[in-house]
Amino acid sequence: MKVVRSIAELRAALAGRRDDGVGLVPTMGALHEGHLSLVRAARAESGTVVMSIFVNPTQFDEPTDLAAYPRTEEADVARAAEAGVDIVFAPTAAEMYPRGFASTVSVSGVLTESLEGAQRGRAHFDGVATVVLKLLLAALPDTAYFGAKDAQQVAVVRRMVADLGVPVALRVCPTSRDVDGLARSSRNVRLSAEERARAVAVPRALDAVTDAVARGIRDSTVLVAIARDVLEAADTAVEYVAIVHPDSFESVAMIEGPALVALAVRLGDTRLIDNALLTPGGA
C-alpha cells in the first residue's frame, strides 16, 4: 500500500490503474469498523481502492471539536493496509488549502440550513461540499463510498455531485453499529464509560420511532415525542429530533412516503448524530 501526501502524487499513483475502476473512501481518519465496511464495499467493486484521510478544518464549527478530533494516522494506515486499501491519500491542510485559496462550493436551501446546518452553521456544509469536491477531483474515482450515519452530509454531496455533474457514482453503505446498536463514530472514544452506557438511548430512540411507524403511527409530532422521551429519560441533551425527506431534508408532517428520522444529542462534551429510514409501507 502507498501513502501519498499531494494531489500530484495521488494522480501519479493512479495513472495506469484506472481500467478496473477506482473506488474512493473519504475519511477523517480515526478509523473504526464503519470505515472498514466502506473499504470492503469499495474492494468488492473496484480494481483500485483509495482512502483519503484528512481532518478538514473548514467543516468544523467549534475549534475545540477540531482540536479534540482523534488523530491516529499510524494505526489508520495499518488498518487501511489490512483492509485492502491500495492508496492512502493523507494531505496536509496546506496541500488542500494553499495560500490564496478562495473558492467555496455551497449548496443552498433547507438541505444545508436545517438540522446539522442550523446547529453547526452555514460554513459546515460549505466546508463539506468544498472538500468532497476537491477529493473527488483529485482522485476522479468511478465510485465514492459514504456511510449512512452522516445522512445530511450524504444528501448535500449527492445534490452537489448532481448539480455540478461530477462524473462519479455514490454508494451509501449502512451505518455500522456496536452490538448494543450505537452507531460507530470516531467521536465515541471521547465518551466516558457512564456516557457510553447512556448513549444506547440514541439507537433505542430510533428503534422506538421505527416500531411506532410499524404500528401505524404517521404523525411526525407524535413520532418525535416518542424519540425525545427515550433520549431525555437517558438524560441526553437533545439538539434536535426531526422527520424529514431523505433527499431534500424538507420537514415531513405526516409520513406517507420515504422519510428519515434524524437526531443529534450531546452527552457531556460529545455530540452524537444518528438516523433511520422510515418505511411506512413495510421494508
Q: Which residues are annotated as a binding site for ATP?
A: 28-35, 147-150, 184-187
Lookup result for grid cell 494505526: 75
Q: Which stretch binds a second copy (CB under 8 A): 66-74, 135-143, 190-198, 221-229?
A: 135-143
Name the nearest CA neighbour of 135 among 88, 171, 179: 88
Residue 14: all three cell numbers together: 493512479
Name the nearest CA neighbour of 161 among 104, 105, 114: 105
Among 39, 41, 50, 111, binds a second copy (CB under 8 A): 111
- Residue 106 CA: distances (Å) to CA of 26, 111, 131, 164: 19, 11, 11, 11
Cα–Cα dist 203/178, whole Å: 10
Cβ burial 48-58 (10 Å sphere, 16+ → b, else e)? bbbbbbbbbeb
| Helix (H) or strand (E) segment spanning residue 273 | strand 270-278
Judged by CB under 8 A, the chain residues 163 through 202 that form the site for a second copy are: 163-167
Among 108, 192, 221, 251, binds a second copy (CB under 8 A): 108
Please report whether residue 137 would count as binding a second copy according to CB under 8 A.
yes
Among 11, 18, 71, 266, binds a second copy (CB under 8 A): 11
- Binding residues for beta-alanine, as ranges, are 59
Among 15, 102, 179, 283, binds a second copy (CB under 8 A): 102
* Shortest spacing between CB 100 and a second copy, in angstroms: 8
Catalytic residue among 23, 35, 199, 262: 35
* Degrees to nearest 5, angle at CA 111 with 233 and 35: 70
Q: Which residue, 135 or 172, is less far from a second copy as judged by CB? A: 135
Please report whether residue 129 would count as binding a second copy according to CB under 8 A.
yes
Please report whether residue 109 would count as binding a second copy according to CB under 8 A.
yes
Other C-beta atoms closer than 10 Å to the C-beta of 102 total 5
- Residue 102 CA: distances (Å) to CA of 10, 28, 97, 222: 23, 22, 9, 45
* Shortest spacing between CB 10 and a second copy, in angstroms: 10
Judged by CB under 8 A, the chain residues 151 through 170 that form the site for a second copy are: 159-160, 163-167
Other C-beta atoms closer than 10 Å to the C-beta of 203 total 19
Please report whether residue 103 would count as binding a second copy according to CB under 8 A.
yes
| Amino acid at position 187, single letter | R
* Shortest spacing between CB 280 and a second copy, in angstroms: 24
Active site residue 35: yes
* Shortest spacing between CB 203 and a second copy, in angstroms: 31
Active-site positions read: 35
Query: Applying CB under 8 A, which residues contact a second copy?
Result: 7, 11, 100-109, 111, 129-130, 133-134, 137-138, 140, 159-160, 163-167, 248
